[in-house]
Chain A
Amino acid sequence: FVLCFHHKMSLGLLTLRALRGAPGLCRRTPAATGGLRAASSAAPRDKRAVITESTEEYKFVERLIPPTRIPDPPKHVGAAPSGWTPPAESPPPLPYMIRRSRMHNIPVYSDLTHGNRRMTLVRKVEGDIWALEKDVREYLRQVTGKELPTQVNEVTMTLKVKGHFEQELKDWLASKGF
């Protein structure tokens, strides 16, 4: 990147010098020609062009290159304006743990298949997933009043619940401190 950048710069300087050498060809602004003429007249006996290589201007390129790691969210007092709450300082004393996603959100997602099959998926569970399933069933029974079928996948450590309960489960898990 550095070499091509300076190659273009030095090409520009060379062409401008060639133009200035031929009389009557350069019709630029007097300020530009005055500055350039001063630079060329400083070393008139050096016929060969001196190409200097400097990496000082590369800092302008470096500050544009994006990072790869997701940064930690800034510290808010209580909830952020969007409604996002950070996880608790220490994990809650429950037999299960639900980690945050890589964008620091609660991993509860709603799913719609076959046009009418509504499901809610809780991912990234660690620990005793059956205890979490019991608590989720208990909580949703209080909220809705009906017994909802759930599916526990012990291999992938996920929990599926019939129906769209994404917001309720997210608020419940946030209140628990996950």
Chain B
Amino acid sequence: LFFSPQFASSFSSETALPPNLRLPSNLVDPDRLKRPPPPEDSSLPLIRKCDAALPAHLSPVRTWVDTLESKDSEPLGLTELHPDVFAVTPRLDILHAVETWQRNYKRISHANTKVRSEVRGGGRKPWKQKGSGRARHGSIRSFPPLKLNCGVSHGPRGPNSYYYMLPMKVRVQGLKVALSSKMAQQYLHVVDSLNIPTPDSQYLLELIRNRHWGESVLLVDVSQEFPENILQATANLKTVNLIPAIGLNVHSMLKHEAVILTLDTVRFLEEKLLWHDERYTFLYPFKLPYSDFP
């Protein structure tokens, strides 16, 4: 079960929940957790081993490999996933930082108000400085309650950009943390490829419901060309979406409940995300050629 952070502590004696806690009954779908991770002595073949070198003190994460060919089919085999990508410490602060960055770096707010010099009119002194008995003013546009259409002195000024960039390694760590969290909560599934027999949306929805994947599903493939059947099936579905592996981002992973990766996607992600752990800082931008850029 996934405990909220305030109850998790490093002291193992305090794992019990407090007695006066009331949790909603639909917090965790019990059917989804019925499939445990593959045991050590499983009879299914190991389809893929990790390409990169593993650290000596960590062991790879094992998951089932499913198919989308039929609705109720057994898993095809097992895969090994690299622990430095799929089993990192769950840094919620990095996830929050990357998610807020994704929302705000594209934001340009167009809120604009006119200052007293920009409001039409108001060049003339309304009444003389001394002798009228009223407060002294220089223009009718300076501030209320002189006249309604006055200028705003400290309002929003023009199109304002909220652009900033997080360091590359922080964004990469955000991706790794998101993948690890999905893995730990059993929302991440590996599939051999995205080929389905029919271009029917109902088939996909029933498949997802049978396997208890969740309400919304994100299907990730390496190439930007997807099979025709899956394109047609997901075209009219709002909760099931396709994305190429280069477009994978923290916001999409948090928005969709389940994330489905193909074996090629897993290899691609491991290669790209692990390169950041053992790279030099750049001499010139990475867009220009290097001898062993991944």
Residues of chain A touching chain B, judged by Cβ–Cβ distance below 8 Å, are 62, 65-70, 89-91, 97, 99, 102, 126, 130, 154-157
| Interfacial chain A residues near B286, Cβ < 8 Å | 68
CB of B279 closer than 8 Å to a CB of A: yes
Interface pair A70/B292, CB less than 8 Å apart: no
Interface pair A66/B283, CB less than 8 Å apart: yes
CA distance A79 to B132 in the complex (A): 93
Given A65-B291, A66-B291, 7 more pairs with CB closer than 8 A: A65-B289, A65-B290, A67-B292, A68-B293, A69-B292, A91-B56, A91-B57
CB of B20 closer than 8 Å to a CB of A: no
Interface pair B291/A157, CB less than 8 Å apart: no
Across the A-B interface, how many residue pairs have beta carbons closer than 8 Å?
Answer: 45
Interface pair B291/A67, CB less than 8 Å apart: yes
CB proximity to A under 8 Å, residues B244-294 = 275, 277-280, 283, 286, 289-293
Q: B205: shortest Cβ distance to chain A, in Å? A: 39
| Interfacial chain B residues near A154, Cβ < 8 Å | 10
| With known contacts A97-B57, A155-B91, A66–B290 Cβ distance under 8 A | yes
| Interfacial chain A residues near B283, Cβ < 8 Å | 66
Interface of B is mostly: loop
Sort chain B's interface into a size bin.
10 to 19
| With known contacts A97-B57, A130-B10, A157-B89, A70–B278 Cβ distance under 8 A | yes
CB of B225 closer than 8 Å to a CB of A: no
Residues of chain B touching chain A, judged by Cβ–Cβ distance below 8 Å, are 10, 55-57, 89, 91, 93, 275, 277-280, 283, 286, 289-293
| Interfacial chain B residues near A157, Cβ < 8 Å | 89
Interface of A is mostly: loop
Which are the 10 A-B pairs with shortest beta-carbon distances?
Answer: A91-B57, A65-B291, A68-B290, A97-B57, A67-B291, A67-B292, A68-B279, A91-B56, A70-B278, A69-B278
Interface pair A67/B57, CB less than 8 Å apart: no
| Interfacial chain A residues near B277, Cβ < 8 Å | 102
Interface centre among A69, A99, A126, A157 (most CB of B within 10 A): A69
CA distance A63 to B283 in the complex (A): 16
Q: CB-nearest residue of chain A relative to B284? A: A66
Q: A105: shortest Cβ distance to chain B, in Å? A: 14
**Partner of A68 from B10, B57, B275 at Cβ < 8 Å:** B275
Interface pair A126/B57, CB less than 8 Å apart: yes
| Interfacial chain A residues near B10, Cβ < 8 Å | 130, 154
| Interfacial chain B residues near A67, Cβ < 8 Å | 280, 290-292
16 CB contacts below 8 A, A to B, read A62-B291, A65-B291, A66-B290, A67-B280, A67-B290, A68-B275, A68-B290, A68-B293, A70-B278, A70-B279, A70-B280, A90-B56, A91-B57, A99-B55, A126-B57, A155-B91
Interface pair A68/B56, CB less than 8 Å apart: no
Q: CB-nearest residue of chain B relative to A97? A: B57
| Interfacial chain A residues near B278, Cβ < 8 Å | 69-70, 102
